[in-house]
Structure 1
Amino acid sequence: MDDHHTGPAELGAPMDYAAHEQTYAFFLAAAKWGSLFIIVLLIAMAAGFYGGLGLIGGLVLFVILNAAGLFLLR
């Protein structure tokens, strides 16, 4: 922070592109798996509360759908 560059920002410190790529890959994976989890949770809650499956049926459906999603999205 204490070095002062007089040129444009594009000519400042060199970028660590490997770290950028790693962060971007982590963000994409987190978004994919997080979306899967939330969608499956909502489906299982709807089936448990409104579909008549109850708590155990909703939990079983949640586990099955998560396993299917993990298999399909790998």
Structure 2
Amino acid sequence: MTGKPDYLIALFNSVSHVIRAERILNGQGIPHKIVPVPKHISSDCGVCIRFLPEYRDQIIQKLEGKTEIIEIREL
């Protein structure tokens, strides 16, 4: 991939972790969207959180200690 990615996705172990993360991000007003995990990336948890790259650090900071992000990938 060249240049800046359009989106990043945060992967979690379970849907309950995704929902917990969504509640936190909604409360902080951080734009994001729950989307299906692309099959070429993982088949463990069916959904992930998609967001713009400029929110990466803010999302990591807000979720730290509240829910575990397994991985952040470019999309």
Normalising by structure 2, what TM-score? 0.29
Q: Tell me which structure has the larger Cα radius of gyration.
A: 1
- TM superposition score normalised by structure 1: 0.30
Q: Relative contact order (alpha carbons < 8 A, sep ≥ 6): 1 or 2 greater?
A: 2
